Amino acid sequence: LKNGVIIAVEEWNARGGLLGQKIEIVWGDDQHDPKQAVAVANKFVNEGVVGVIGHFNSSSSIPASTIYRDGKVIQLTPASTNPLFTERGLWNVFRVCGRDDQQGSVAADFIVRKLKKKKVAVLHDKTTYGQGLADETVKALEQAKIKSVYYGSITQGDKDYRSVLTALRQYDPEILFYGGIYPEAVLLTKQMRELGMKTIFVSGDGVWAKEFPKIAGKAAEGAFITFTPDQTKIKEAQEVIRRHKEKFGAGVGAYTVYSYVAGVLLFEAITATRSTDSVTIADYIKRTKWKTALGPLQFDKKGDVLVSPYVVWEVKDGKFVELQ
């Protein structure tokens, strides 16, 4: 997220900044901790920031958003997918990415229609994001008349999940759907294979990280992950991707282009309204049809994008391959 914002700010400052002033970035690290997220939010409000690009995790974005609302600060998250973020009627929040209810429907549809499996075990990591995605997937499965054979949770940071895997193995699941992020997914897939389980691993965007297949190795092969379409094939994203590689010597992360877009939306709204008033900016963002590095975007009254496609990726030969 940080790299995307850096590119956006450098680009705009090279043009003269905003309203005759250079853009200054104020950094905060919520450490994936809701309490720390509130502390960061209060710090930002006290320092008089105009807008916030973040947070990454839903469990941080949601509590922080009320601080920003009270402090009259715009919040644009590039990556928080839990529906609750935009379902509470806050005027100041926007989500550049999609929602877990959309993502869960795609995962369930893929399991039922493409994989044609009926015995599904579900695990989550107890976080707002992880449990939210798992629950939305369960909901979508139930609409397809599929009831999960096992539903349970793990604790982030633990190193051994064999006991829970042994417990769900007795139900002989064809699919294990996991709501969470990649470090635990690495351990789950490795330990599944060590236990001789041939269960297909399915998860969401929190696992779409190059570290997952790199560290999990053969255990990750054949896993299916829901995420957005390949950004490297989006025509409008090519310049951002090129500049990122030039500056940081690497390809973009899963949500780097999203953070770039969030930053540019904020800057364009300030320029168009010639104002740093948060209410004025929020109103402009909601009523504008945007041309972005992710393609056309438009927001609804809640702050969600009107069209948010999710697709399925498969791990093949240690890499993510988008399925058509």
At the topology level of CATH, where does 101-227 sit? Answer: Rossmann fold (3.40.50)
The residue-averaged pLDDT of 4-20 equals 97
Listed in sequence order, the residues at least 6 apart from 3 whose beta carbon sits closer than 8 Å to its beta carbon are: 244, 247, 248, 252, 253, 256, 259
Task: Report how far residue 211's alpha carbon sits from residue 316's, in angstroms, rounded to the nearest whole number.
Answer: 14
Domain ranges of the chain: 2-98+235-297, 101-227
CA atoms within 13 A on the CB side of 180: 25
The residue-averaged pLDDT of 269-277 equals 98
pTM of the predicted model as reported, rounded to 2 decimal places: 0.88
pLDDT digit string, tens, across residues 173-211: 999 999 999 999 999 999 999 999 999 999 999 999 999
Query: Given this chain, do its domains 2-98+235-297 and 101-227 carry the same CATH topology?
Result: yes
Task: Report how far residue 233's alpha carbon sits from residue 221's, in angstroms, rounded to the nearest whole number.
Answer: 23
The residue-averaged pLDDT of 126-153 equals 96
Question: What CATH number should be reported for the domain whose range is 2-98+235-297?
Answer: 3.40.50.2300
Enter the tokens of residue 86. 């935009």
